[in-house]
Structure 1
């Protein structure tokens, strides 16, 4: 296989492999020669160099010994002689070690080394004799022996002479090693130069071949691509090879073919479309269409057939190349001939490979035409073939021709149908032309009326949109004006109330009565503003629903307490006829109270004598609350409008009753918002009955979600307020309010009860005062400059020392659901609207904040004792819900003895009778709720020691601390978990070892 036909990867592997092989050979040769050179260097070091170094050291040692022998003879005393003798022994030992090294490393004759050792041994014997003579006191004889011609000196000279042979041999051996190393170095240089030259030239050669096999096809492909990009659509790459470049060349050619075909088809499609747009009349249109199709597809004949009016046959309409004798029709239902398949499928049919003896022939002027291929194009309208275009040619159709027909089929169909429709319209127009002339005048008149009505409709729609927008803006404006309207009005009411209290008996009675008029009318105006704002919020879609479960009787009791003073002034009876056995409902407590308050207030207002009664009955999953009065009644023609805004039963200029007519409208809208209804029956002069129909459970409540129970916590009562006479001595209240009249009003009320009042004009000043000194409670406005009330509340709750300060919110702002959720999450005590401050209610709230347990007299401290009951512990469960009671009993029945009570009063009686070991108490119970029951329990000596665990569905942030602050020994949130219940009972009984429960 040629190199150019190989795969690019194969070419690269061969070229780079060859270079790599030479590089490996070069490295191997360098490694081998380097090893030989190292051997020569190692021999030079290990033998001649080592021998000469040891020889030099040994010669030195013997020369020193010779000198020390002379010093020994000259030594003055025995001590010096012994020192010299030791030194001679040391050098002699070192010389012996050097001779051993020479013996091991010397490459010459062993006799040379043996001669040195023999001479050294003889010298040692001579030295020993000299030393003996010296030590024997024969110093002259010893001195003569160390003289140059003495025996000792001659023996030393003999030793040194023997070193010369060894030294000469080692020197010659070193020269020999050096010469060999030099030869090896020259050989290594020649080999490396040769191999490097071979690698270099081979790399050049391989690179040339690779560049040639890669660059040449790339250049050819690049040139072809540039020519194709320049508009030469017939440009093709001539490079042919089985490698990747050959495959890339083939792909380029295929892509060029496809692009050229696409462009040709699009160009021809445009020509067909242009031809079809030249005429809207059917016959010229068909003629132009056939001419263009014959030219672009290479067909020799073509015809158009149209479906007749009976939808039974296709008749010849227009053709090119056909003889006039071949203009028959064919059935539209039998699917016969070359058109049968197209009729059956509704698709273009391409008939090819037609044999010479076929019956598919076409008559022309010159004779019968035997086509090579036939194209049949059905024209569909509403899934039915309404026309047929047939093309035939003497040569097979090209791919471009078939592609063109398929691409323009839908365009031809759409345009053909349009022309057919226009033809039908043209025919109908001609038939109706006479009738149109007769009706022309009527048409003109009706057109004029239509135009006029259209203009009026446009104007009315524009006015409607303007009214809707104005109404929306009005509602939004009123809804956002709550703070701006209530704040100045609050100043009027607050300051008039302050003056009313401070100027009593200080000014004339007539002038003093003016203050009462100001305050009364201010409150009336506030009530009106509240109604308007409530209505605007409903219309603006900003009214939100806050669900909680509460008792209807408690709700009615609260409303009756609020309006009882008004009914007593008029001398009419206000009766609460709600049965205590009614179940609680899940709805918006505030809105239900507003609805009922409006209805009862209206009933009291329009009743001069008699009574107003409130009753409630259960009807399936609904509750019906009725308010019946013996007042003036409502005329039948007024009942349909009584719930409209600003409508009243008495609208005369001499009416006896005031009001704006918003109360019933708001009540109706609130009832609708709560998925309920309100009805009215009345007899003029006898009275009226308004009936509120509400579902027991609001349908939009999220399943499984937490629903707040109306437990009526102390500190936020839902009953009427009675006069309060509690001293606030020693209690400090921080008022955070930027409105001076509001500060004056609150200070006047609280100072009168002995409270110490501190004022902060903004949030920053409030935080500074809290940092300096903690108040006993705080009254907080929400709308303030710089730092608003929400930020202040979040800040004090985030600090450990101020996290438990009770906070009462006082604001003129309409609080949204999100804001209310934030306030609840930060454990506020109560929320009061400005301008509607009731002195007794405010003082009651303050009292409950700073003295939450003052209702009951102080009792002796409850002594905590370790209760270890013998046998099963006795557990008293106070729960009004049968399902919850059943659940707790099932949990405790096997390990504890369970007593059951459905309300607080019954629970107290059982506690007195049985003195249980522990009490599980629900907070929201009829007759007596959990808080009141706990207070009563703690006031009785015999049962005050019993531990009590609160069981509640209130799981909001801060609820646990708030509940435990009332004196409960434990807290359990519903739904109850068995492990949690068991642990709570264990901890409360203070006996984890002996208690089975």
Structure 2
């Protein structure tokens, strides 16, 4: 809860006065106690001196009765409980108890005052007096009334001083606040405050007026700049549309004569072949090949210009992805053979049916497959197709030349290849990947790339399997499509991953943006939840950083909306907030929860973790559905495929049906413990045996730990494990060659 400055000042004044009163009262009581003790000591010593003088003759004449009468003189003296005369041999000559039972309970008396009894300078006995001092509580009780009266008077004075200080100290603040309200209500920054005779207030007013003047000048300059930017943007958009329309029209005009050239070249080729004019036949072959290359270039320009001009539509229909893969194999086989490459195409038989645009999907796969064949020689080309939830995933891998990080950053841009030497050696225009990227976006998906220079490249195409809601749910007007294409080009102009940062605090937003960009992420930002959701739907980022305290639509509502949308649920969302309710955010769907101030190293680890998608099948053995869903969610967000088994028996049945790269298991399960499952997996053939990671809340003894050491690759405590941290452990195993 935030306390206003005015209330803080009053509270501090009251606390200061209360503290001063408390210290004063404690000092007063302490002084009273010290004085009372000194006076009591003086009184006890004086009484002991008088008694020792009076009792000496009685002891000398051995008269205990007279001695006892002398000792009775202590009766009525405050603080004296008993008195006795003790002979040198330790024998009590006479004694007297002033209080009932005082002598029997000497523990109730704080001290014993001793006084020698002398006659003519010779000590004939010792006088012992049991005394009791007044306690601090007794003194406090006696002075309680006076202390309460003083406190009440002082408190009243403190309240009056607080009100007086409030009027004096807050007068400048109230003046400024009143002016600010007027400016805020009217929006007129030309308002100025009148000067005051108070020199301090006059300095504040002068500074405030100067600030308003600078603000007014800044607003005017900003307004002019914004207008200029709007005009420049409109002009650029108009020029871009004109360029795209021009390219589309020119491409159509160029295709007509080019088709004729190709047709006549084929006729000439047949006739020259019959006449056996080999030299002329070679010339015509060059014409035919060059014409086809030019036609491919024109077709690519036409496709790109259609997309940018908003004239590229989607032909939705039902089809079999398996049939598309068979067509791809027939088209790519001769291309692969040209460079002595071996083509491998594998399709999951359970891939099912699709409702999308088969033509655009086929073109995307052809572009990626042809690139793999072109940049590989005497190598292997792998094209794998599978279903992943509501998506179709196609992986195109090769063992070719690969790309460096700098080359990867240049991909997906029109007319750009990895570098100039690539263009000279292998040819091409650089439009294929750009069109593939745009088509993938239109089909509700993305294209990702992973490459190692000199070792090969893997492109992963992910598209929606079912686009039945596309027509009703999207705006396909030329203006909308063009605006989307332009913005997507700006944000995804390279192969860099994309981070969406939803944060309303400028400083935090700037910090996370810089860290993301330092980790080689592109960024888009939103200062409120509604805008953040719109950007998430539009751009499908690789990771979302979400604050919870947002205006209008708060972070909890954003998190709920992200989990409710199937197309956004797979995006890892990391909550970054001052709220430490970590378990609630994880249950609501967050991949992890960071508390401000954030650790830069941990945030950088998050960017590294989600900078690329991973592959591999993982079996989760967990009997608690909530926990199993938590693990599966985190691993699916990193790209892994998961399957869940509720116990060891079900896990073994699944292992017999398919191969898994990794098993994540608990040690407690309903149909036997995890140790038996681990032992059964250890007996499997090495080529079929998956790695095992144990995630458990069980405390292991030394014997259990030794039993697991040689059979599992990692042992992780279940308590506090987030989906992201589980994914990071799996990723680390993968990096070191121990997992999927």
Q: TM-score range by the shorter chain?
A: 0.3 to 0.5
Bigger radius of gyration: 1
**TM-score, normalised via structure 2 length:** 0.35
